[in-house]
A = this chain, B = another copy of it.
Amino acid sequence: MTTLQNDRFLRALLREPVDVTPVWMMRQAGRYLPEYLRVRKQAGSFMNLCTNPELACEVTMQPLERFPLDAAILFSDILTIPDAMGLGLYFAEGEGPRFERPLRSRADVAALGVPDPEDSLRYVMDAVRLIRRTLDNRIPLIGFSGSPWTLATYMVEGSSTKTFSQVKGMLYSEPRLMHQLLETVAASVTSYLNAQIAAGAQAVMIFDTWGGVLTPADYRTFSLQYMQRIVEGLTREAEGRRVPVILFTKGGGAWLEAMADTGCDALGLDWTTDIGDARHRVGERVALQGNLDPAVLYATPDVIREKAGHILQQYGTGNGHVFNLGHGITPDVNPENAAALISAVHELSAPFHE
């Protein structure tokens, strides 16, 4: 087993004792950092940044140079898989992701194959390998993927959407076609995450950004079921150590028990659930990651410290808590406020681990 200088994050995910609560931030490598914006500009486009392992590694490392974070997360995008399937991902300035060839017919769905991660997604695996070498076992590296349902929303809509009219039109009118699509995507995600683990990812997280727009029954059928298949198909040990799996459904606070039943190691929580209540509901089965409202970072360092302390208090003493935001850090946050959060979590959490 390779020795990590700081393994708090992995230990907390497995509900083992730690000295202080580990902390990282979703989108910690991102637009709130001026040094990120410089590299992003140099890359020319967001996709150039994602597909260049050296640049992806550079921006992955940037927040670690500023803050004593307990985990690094691969810099990439959830839409790399559909891009590798041939849909033609691009980013229209200020408009978010778009596909040149969204899925428009049964034939489009039938034509989809499972991409070979070491071929059309090799740039991601190269980034993972390079980041691991650069991290040099200081802290663990998180790999990630979008959930099948979340990826399917973009693949069918062709872009971000408010109404989900096309993808829900397919779900409601042609549920079998939707299942066919989700099966292919789930197989692709499994293969993609296993390749990330083989390349060096020490934990993986599945982002189900849009599971929360489904009815409770449809969430189980069209999102959770496929995340469960992925969890069941993942390599759970590498380098002599368990590789924890974190599931995160934004807006999924009502469904935590069912999510814990998938066999994952931890659940990500958005800020609309009380983490103390969530622990009462599922705490003995999984670790919990979260869940500060990212908008708290618009307040002052004193308020940030108070609110971070409040979440530590809600979770309470004992193992199994990874501190995080309830969603990604937003582009216009002052990096000094992020620094205030990270140090508050480390300072204030020690008494909860005595």
Q: Chain A residues in contact with chain B, CB under 8 A?
A: 163-166, 168-169, 172-173, 212-217, 251, 253-254, 271-274, 277, 293-296, 298-300, 303, 307, 330, 332
24 A/B residue pairs, CB under 8 Å, sorted by A = A163-B294, A163-B295, A163-B330, A165-B330, A165-B332, A168-B293, A168-B295, A168-B298, A169-B295, A172-B296, A172-B298, A172-B299, A172-B303, A172-B307, A173-B303, A212-B272, A214-B272, A215-B272, A215-B293, A216-B273, A251-B251, A254-B254, A254-B272, A254-B273
A272 touching B169 in the complex, CB below 8 Å, given contacts A163-B295, A251-B251: no
Which 10 pairs from chain A and chain B are nearest by CB? A168-B295, A172-B299, A169-B298, A173-B299, A163-B330, A216-B274, A165-B298, A215-B271, A172-B303, A172-B296
Chain B: CB-nearest residue to A274:
B216
Q: For the complex, give the distance between the alpha carbons of A164 and B274 in Å.
A: 20
Closest to A165 in B: B298
Known interface pairs A165-B332, A173-B298; 18 further A-B residue pairs with C-beta atoms within 8 A, sorted by A's residue number: A163-B294, A163-B332, A165-B295, A168-B293, A168-B298, A169-B298, A172-B307, A173-B299, A213-B272, A215-B274, A215-B293, A216-B272, A216-B274, A251-B251, A251-B272, A254-B254, A254-B272, A254-B273
Instruction: List, in ascending order, chain B residues with CB within 8 A of A277's CB.
Output: 216
Contact: B274 with A217, CB < 8 Å?
yes
In the complex, chain B residues whose CB is within 8 Å of the CB of A300: 173
Q: CB-nearest residue of chain B relative to A252?
A: B272
Give the shortest distance, in Å, between A92 (CB) and chain B (any CB). Answer: 16
A199 to B253, CA, bound (A): 41
> In the complex, which residue of chain B has the Cβ closest to the Cβ of A166?
B298
Which residues of chain B have C-beta atoms less than 8 A from A274's C-beta? Answer: 215-217
Report the Cα distance A271→B271, complex, angstroms. Answer: 20
A170 to chain B, nearest CB (A): 9
User: Could you tell me the distance between the alpha carbons of A273 and B214 in the complex, rounded to whole angstroms?
Assistant: 9
Q: How far is the CA of A293 from the CA of B217 in the complex (A)?
A: 12
CA of A330 to CA of B293, assembled, Å: 29
Nearest neighbor of A277 in chain B, beta-carbon distance: B216
Residues in chain B near residue A293, CB distance under 8 A: 168, 215
Complex Cα–Cα for A21 and B102 (A): 40
